[in-house]
Structure 1
Amino acid sequence: MLVLDKPAGIAVHPGPKGGDSLEAHFDSLRFGLPRVPALAHRLDRDTSGCLVLGRHRKALQKLGQLFKAGRIDKTYWAVVEGSPAEESGLIDLALGRRDETRGWWMQVDPAGQPAETAWRVLGRHEGRSWLELKPRTGRTHQIRVHCAALGWPLVGDPIYGDRAAGGTLHLLARAVSVPLYASRAAVGAVAPVPGHMADALAALGHRAEPQPEG
């Protein structure tokens, strides 16, 4: 298994219109194995942070089973417009396609697929909030749609937020914990705060993190 710190603004795999993608660079991550690693899950183009890869077929099969069973713990950080009335809670809203012509655009739909996101507030300041979010299901755009539905659209979200505001999506796949071995502790990884979120998080109380050496 490999865990990458995915930058915002690049797709994980080529889209219908082509263009650069992370998969195009996986050959440099073989590290002696005959095959290139492959994606064990997906992150949106504009989401940064922890992205899990399997280094061979057996690993991908194992990781796929863990993701499907909901055994991989995923933690996201988001900066949102608005301020939740509570300090924590659970969003339980089914999701479905908003418009077949818009590809992956989603909406709350009682007839859609079940979707749950646990959340808690980590900071508040001047009409914005810093949220920790733990999706219990893995629906497309789940966090973005859930937050927008409750009146807290993500900063920089051009689909479910203020399209005129511009900027980069403030969503970070902060940490992942993978129980690879039954007799050992889960393997964990934590992604650093990306540059485009640093100022917003600092205003909300986040302290600068030490930078790795080298």
Structure 2
Amino acid sequence: MAERIRVLLADDHPVVRQGLRTFLELHDDIDVVGEAADGREAVELVRELEPDVLLLDRKMPGLDGQGVLTELAGLPARTRAIVLTSVTDPRDVAPAVAAGAAGFLYKDVAPDALVAAIRSVHSGQSLFAPEALAAMTAPAAREPVAGPLTPREVEVLGLIATGRSNREIARELVVAEKTVKTHVSNVLMKLGVTDRTQAALYAVRHGLAGDSAGRDR
């Protein structure tokens, strides 16, 4: 039996939450474990329920989606967030990814594509609507590489962008975890960034996330 995916819905519109729940629960591998009507409640429910995937509206009262992502980054739970928004401002995409969003979709997404996105993000991949990806890869969003990456470092960067830990990367590449730590340090130094989230954002902007993101664990 396939692993069941535990999903939390966070949206301030009850009709949207009900529609998502009704549709998602038609799928045997998805369980909607809770609903949040605002950002603060979303953070509390992530702490309490530890869902696999959070479908997160960006515009909510009180703590907005960006604030939720920021708070989730400090939690030990491995919940992966997909921003699902009706606001198509391209300036929203990069901050969301930098704060840890594993996906960014718009509410006009086809229902089957949303389910596929949930499954992909749960499996460790990152997934973005074409418009969101275009916003991150626009020429104005590009930054120079501080130093050339080796093929192995590019591979490690791609895996960082899928949310894998050093241990998971070591297992994927069949190398020692200490070796992975060295590669990660080199990647951060060469890209001129200070943490893995910024490195992952760089990978998505430059089309490097797909180099390793399509692999199975």
Give the TM bin, normalised by the shorter chain: under 0.3
TM-score (norm 2): 0.26
TM-score (norm 1): 0.26
Higher relative contact order (CA 8 A, sep 6+): 1
User: Which of the two has greater strand per residue?
Assistant: 1
User: Which of the two has greater helix per residue?
Assistant: 2
